[in-house]
Amino acid sequence: MGEPLIRRRELYVGDLPTIVFGHRSLIWWGTLGMMAIEGTMFAIVIASYFYLRTRISNWPPGLMPPALKYGVLNSIWFLLSVVPNQWTKTIAEKGDLQKVRIGLVVMTMFGVGNLVLRGFEFTALNCQWDANAYASIVWLLLGLHTVHLLTDWFDTAVLAVLFFTGPLDGKRYMDASENSDYWYFVVLTWLPIFFVIYIAPRLL
């Protein structure tokens, strides 16, 4: 079909990169959106915890506060995990296949440690969820964080397998970098939650 030749100005973008990291990538924005949603959830559960505190005179009502040992150990483990997490993120952005493999395996192992300690944390809460409203909200808070821990651990494990088996292209390195960002979210939300579950009942 003979289209007439038309004189138009063009904005040529064909030489722009396709693999970018951090806030330039769409997946970073998507992860940020998820963090905003889930961060709001954590904030509302924490607010509910303190709201329920105002409804009753002694806290925790008729129960011992959660035992500290596993919660403290898990917090230390979480804080330590930041080091391999940042390393994995940095090398993912350099596209170093061998080192990303090591980083993802290490992070998967770290996650296993967190999950095992989390299992013990549930046994050390000194309450069952159906004991009273305090017990319910403590279980909800720890349970909700565990869901995030579990999903990010699963993500990391799947990514680790993919980096060994392929198929691989540059976008997967973007995923590895964002996976590290999400792990930061899991760690950073844990700190206030740790404070609420373990310290608040001793102070209030």
Partner 1 sequence: MSTVENISATTPHLDRHERLSLTWGDPPGILGWFMTVNHKRVGKRFMITAFIFFLLGGLLAVLMRLQLSRPENHFLGPDKYNQIFTMHGSTMMFLFAVPMMFEALSVYFVPLMVGARNIAFPRLNAFSYYVYVFGGIMLWVAFVYNAGPDVGWFAYPPLSGPAFTPGKRADFWAQMITFTELSGLAVAVEVVVTVMKTRAPGMSLNRLPIFCWAEVITSLMVIFAMPAVMLSSTMLIMDRLIATHFFNPSEGGDALLYQHMFWFFGHPEVYIIFIPGTGIVSTIIAAFSRRKVFGYTALVLSTVATGFIGFGVWVHHMFATGLPQLSENFFTAASLMIVVPTGVQFFCWIATLWSGRLHFELPMQWIGGFFFVFLIGGLTGLMLAAVPLDWQVHDTYFVVAHFHYVLLGGAVFPLFGAFYYWFPKITGRMLGEALGKLHFWLFFIGFNLTFFPMHILGLRGMPRRIYTYPVEMHWGSVNALESIGAILMGLGVLAFIWNVFQSNRFGRIAGADPWGAGTLEWATTSPPPNYNFLDLPTVGGREPLWENAPDQPIVTGVREDMREVLVTRPMDAEPEHLTLYPSPTIWPFLTSLAVTGLFIGSIFTPWAVVWGAIPVAITLTGWFWPTKKETEEKKEIEVWENR
Q: For the chain, what's the residue count?
A: 204
- CB nearer partner 1, residue 10 or residue 123: 10
- Selection from 74, 181, 183, 180 nearest residue 120 by Cα: 74
| Alpha-carbon span 89 to 95, nearest angstrom | 10
Nearest distance, CB of residue 162 and partner 1, angstroms = 7
Nearest-angstrom CA–CA distance, 141 and 45: 7
User: Phi-psi bin for 22: left (phi > 0), alpha (psi -120 to 50), beta?
Assistant: left
Quote the least distance from Cβ 144 to partner 1, whole Å.
9
Which is nearer to partner 1, 102 or 158 (by Cβ)? Answer: 158
> Residues interacting with partner 1, by CB under 8 A?
1-21, 24-26, 29-30, 33-34, 36-38, 40-41, 44-45, 48, 51-52, 55-56, 61, 95, 129-137, 139-140, 154, 158, 162, 166-172
- Of 29 and 164, which CB lies nearer to partner 1 in the complex structure? 29
Question: Is residue 186 within 8 Å of 148, Cβ to Cβ?
Answer: yes
Q: Which two tokens stand for residue 53?
A: 């505190």
Q: Which of 45, 90, 60 is nearest to 193 (CA)?
A: 45
Residue 100: CA count within 13 A, CB half-sphere: 27
Taking the least distance from each CB to partner 1, the nearer of 139 and 182 is 139
Cβ at position 87, least distance to partner 1 in Å:
19
Please report how close the Cβ of residue 23 comes to partner 1 at its closest, in angstroms: 8
For partner 1, give the closer residue by CB, 79 or 154. Answer: 154
Helix, strand, or coil (residue 6): coil
**75 vs 88, which CB is nearer to partner 1?**
88
Contact between 88 and 107 (Cβ < 8 Å): yes
C-alpha span between 112 and 44 (Å, rounded): 28
Least distance in angstroms from the C-beta of 6 to partner 1: 6
